[in-house]
């Protein structure tokens, strides 16, 4: 083999070695760069949740990122339990831990009112409507729905009575008990109680916050703040001291219509 052929062969071998080195470095770089955190696809949105915090709450936009191949998609979580009415703007909000200020109050919209079961509107300046299908109480004054509350009515085995009634008695606070065996209950300090038929009443509730679905033994469960507002607004007007305050012809109870 002459020297010229040797030089050609040496250069060819050197080029192959160089190519192998470059390929090895490239593969190593890809492996190192791909070892970061896996990011799943996010849905683009320009209207972040009002409950978001940090940068997203300021109105920034989430970018649409590619899905990494052959990786499992995040499992879709079931919807959260009812927490707030989707029927109009909330009047105020309070931490779930603040029982006395917690409210479900909302301003009824015409669109929402149109969803309610049609009923004959009474000729009353003030009256209260309980729609069991929607689990809401609507307060009317001078022909206008001025406020709504999300409530919990009676369970199927202990349904809330339906019909037209009037608030007959008010109690600032009392102990409620009843049932037997596994269904026995004892609830001290139930506040802002308004009886409208027999033992059926509007009253405050501190033992659950699952408003928007039937939960009670027949009464209309409300938050303490909502029950107080209704207690103060509806007749008979309480004198501020009588424990069992009854309605009279001179101080009548407000009309209550309960319907499916």
Tell me, what's the pLDDT at 16? 66
Count how many domains the chain has.
1
Q: In sequence order, which residues have a C-beta less than 8 Å from that of residue 146 and are 6 or more positions away?
A: 108, 139, 140
Q: Kindly indicate the confidence band of residue 179, based on its pLDDT and cuts at 50, 70 and 90.
A: confident
Indicate if the alpha-carbon torsion angle 221, 156, 256, 89 is positive or negative.
positive
Domain with 192 in it: what CATH number?
2.40.440.10
Helix, strand, coil percentages, rounded to 5, for the chain: 20, 25, 50
Q: Pick the closest to residue 151 from 140, 139, 167 (CA basis).
A: 139
Indicate if the alpha-carbon torsion angle 210, 211, 214, 220 is positive or negative.
positive
Tell me, what's the pLDDT at 8? 60
Tell me, what's the pLDDT at 54? 37
Q: Tell me, yes or no, whether 200 lies in a domain.
A: yes
Q: Tell me, yes or no, whether 204 lies in a domain.
A: yes
Higher pLDDT: 116 or 71? It is 116
Q: Tell me, yes or no, whether 240 lies in a domain.
A: yes
Whole-prediction pTM? 0.65
SS3 assignment, position 22: helix
Q: Tell me, yes or no, whether 85 lies in a domain.
A: no
E-strand ranges in 113-206 read: 126-131, 136-141, 144-150, 163-166, 169-178, 185-197, 200-204
> Across the chain, how many H-helices and E-strands are there?
3, 10
Nearest 5°: phi and psi at 11? -65, -40
Q: Tell me, yes or no, whether 201 lies in a domain.
A: yes
E-strand ranges in the chain read: 126-131, 136-141, 144-150, 163-166, 169-178, 185-197, 200-204, 220-222, 244-246, 255-259
What are 3's two structure tokens? Answer: 């020297």
Q: What is the pLDDT of residues 208-244, one digit of tens each?
A: 999 999 999 999 999 999 999 999 999 999 999 999 9
- Highest-scoring range by mean pLDDT, 14-18, 77-81, 247-251: 247-251
Q: Kindly indicate the confidence band of residue 1, based on its pLDDT and cuts at 50, 70 and 90.
A: low
Active-site residue list: 203, 219
Cβ atoms within 10 Å, residue 89: 9
Q: Quote the CA–CA distance of 49 and 46 in Å, as a whole number.
A: 10
Q: Tell me, yes or no, whether 12 lies in a domain.
A: no
Q: Tell me, yes or no, whether 232 lies in a domain.
A: yes
Q: Quote the CA–CA distance of 107 and 156 in Å, as a whole number.
A: 29
**Domain membership of residue 115 as a residue range:** 110-177+185-259
């Amino acid at each position: 083999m002459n020297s010229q052929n040797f030089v050609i062969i040496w250069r060819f071998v050197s080029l192959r070695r160089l190519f192998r080195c470059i390929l090895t470095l490239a593969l190593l770089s890809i492996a190192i760069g791909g070892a970061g955190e896996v990011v799943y696809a996010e849905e683009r949105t320009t209207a972040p949740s009002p409950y978001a915090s940090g940068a997203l709450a300021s109105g920034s936009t989430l970018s649409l990122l590619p899905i990494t191949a052959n990786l499992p998609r995040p499992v879709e979580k079931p919807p959260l339990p009812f927490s707030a009415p989707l029927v109009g703007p909330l009047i105020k909000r309070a931490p779930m831990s603040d029982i006395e200020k917690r409210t479900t109050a909302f301003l009824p919209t015409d669109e929402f009112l149109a969803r309610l079961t049609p009923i004959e509107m009474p000729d009353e300046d003030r009256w209260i409507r309980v729609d069991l299908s929607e689990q809401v109480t609507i307060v009317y004054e001078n022909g206008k729905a001025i406020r709504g509350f999300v409530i919990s009515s009676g369970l199927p085995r202990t349904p809330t009575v339906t019909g037209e009634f009037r608030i007959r008695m008010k109690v600032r606070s009392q102990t409620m008990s009843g049932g037997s065996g596994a269904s026995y209950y004892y609830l001290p300090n139930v506040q802002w109680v308004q009886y409208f038929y027999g033992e059926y009443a509007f009253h405050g509730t501190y033992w659950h916050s699952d408003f928007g679905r039937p939960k009670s033994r027949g009464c209309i469960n409300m938050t303490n703040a909502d029950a107080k507002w209704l207690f103060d607004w509806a007749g008979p007007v309480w004198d501020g001291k009588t424990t069992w305050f009854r309605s009279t012809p001179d101080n009548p109870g407000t009309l209550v219509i309960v319907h499916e």
